[in-house]
Structure 1
């Protein structure tokens, strides 16, 4: 493994936690692929990091579009021939302050399309690159809102369900994967970003650090777990 520089890909890498994950991975010596569905902001973000002499490139990928995902897989395969770390960070938060049954169903459908199906299709599509080298680390950026205990409190139903199902996907894929490919879910905490708002107590740097240890775990490292700040938490 050591004779190659490892390659990492971060979805939704143009801002917030995603941007910070790209930066910290590159500082740690990874070749990093920053993906975003907005090609303009994605290019700008990658360019900014390149100017700091970091090995970052931009690939356009809309996680809601399977053709776009497959094009990204082909690009990564041609350019690097491998993928070692995949971080599913792209996510949306559209909830209105309404009960799930009163919500416009399109809010739930759009939320699941990105937060669950997006991650599912990205994992499914990139997994062969990991399988061909019998090595991979997949990290799903989840939320404490996805914990089963949260389902007994009202509110933010679409977002909660999307993260609950993402957590279920994490466990299933781990159970079905060879132990050389490890997949875990992480709760980054409440982070000051476009999604978290300005009053959140954590900054993206802290959140990224709490996620990234899972990118470099050894063969004895966990798989199929849910973590916050390096500690396992309940599903």
Structure 2
């Protein structure tokens, strides 16, 4: 049985992954944006599941969330599932990039890290000027997520760090008419979290439906990765622990 923490698990893919992992006997801690969402989440999951709360657009709340996670001990797996799409550039930056950076840096190092990216990262722009000009879009944020995952994979060789494209699935974010398979949308997170298969015990990879995909070349650029980490350090006032 693994101990697993999933951000953004009050609905959508995060909740589906949580339910699947709980059903498989794992100890899963969930996360909701606020107390109202927490109360709703507790009605959707079985047993005495813990749901932590924090608005990941707020750096102070994100740092506090990391403290609460560490108070529960060291986790085997952390799934960075939270993401926003239709939001301001500031919110997209904070939730989609700065929050996973902070939580990765502050939460006790797990055995496995899983980051949710998107096929839309192929249209994203990874240059640092997009960040400093406050013009980041959802598509831009997703290559940054891949860059973070790859940076972690290189600098924490004792951790499996991978990114996942869940597909365009019918969630609140994806919309009811989204064409991809919802089941397959969360199964890759579950597989990477628990599987002992050789294909799952890898690092620095990008997956779609349990198969490795080729990412945007920017995601594997060492210089861009370091520039991104330096930027995150400046914004969050927290250095990444190497």
Which category of TM-score, normalised to the shorter sequence, fits these structures?
0.7 to 0.9
1:73-222 matched pairs, under 5 angstroms: 73-79=66-72, 81-94=73-86, 107-126=88-107, 129-130=108-109, 135-147=110-122, 150-151=123-124, 158-179=137-158, 181-218=159-196, 221-222=201-202
Tell me how far 1:205 sits from its aligned partner: 3.0
Unaligned runs of 5+ in 2: 126-134, 216-242
- Confirm whether residue 228 of structure 1 aligns to residue 221 of structure 2: no
Q: Distance in 2 between matches of 1:112 and 1:69?
A: 13
Please tell me whether the aligned partners of residues 10 and 22 of structure 1 are also in contact (alpha carbons under 8 angstroms). yes
CA gap 1:203/1:175 in 2 versus in 1, 3 angstroms:
same
Q: Distance in 2 between matches of 1:157 and 1:200?
A: 24
Please tell me whether the aligned partners of residues 13 and 42 of structure 1 are also in contact (alpha carbons under 8 angstroms). no
Please tell me whether the aligned partners of residues 63 and 122 of structure 1 are also in contact (alpha carbons under 8 angstroms). no
Report the counterpart of residue 31 of structure 1 in structure 2.
27
Q: Distance in 2 between matches of 1:184 and 1:190?
A: 19
Tell me how far 1:68 sits from its aligned partner: 2.1
Please tell me whether the aligned partners of residues 137 and 216 of structure 1 are also in contact (alpha carbons under 8 angstroms). no
Tell me how far 1:76 sits from its aligned partner: 2.9
Q: CA RMSD in A?
A: 2.2
Cα deviations by residue, 1:136-190 (Å, 9 ceiling, x for unpaired): 111101101113xx249xxx970111001111111111100033x1110000001
Report the counterpart of residue 58 of structure 1 in structure 2.
51
Q: Distance in 2 between matches of 1:74 and 1:157?
A: 28
Unaligned runs of 5+ in 1: 96-106
Secondary structure class of the residue paired with 2:96: helix
Q: Distance in 1 between matches of 2:169 and 2:29?
A: 23
Please tell me whether the aligned partners of residues 8 and 32 of structure 1 are also in contact (alpha carbons under 8 angstroms). yes
Question: Among residues 6, 9, 14, which one is paired with 1:13 in the alignment?
Answer: 9
Q: Tell me which stretches of 4 or more aligned residues in structure 1 moved more than 4 Å.
A: none
Taking structure 1 as the reference length, the TM-score comes to 0.79
Report the counterpart of residue 38 of structure 2 in structure 1.
42
Please tell me whether the aligned partners of residues 184 and 224 of structure 1 are also in contact (alpha carbons under 8 angstroms). yes
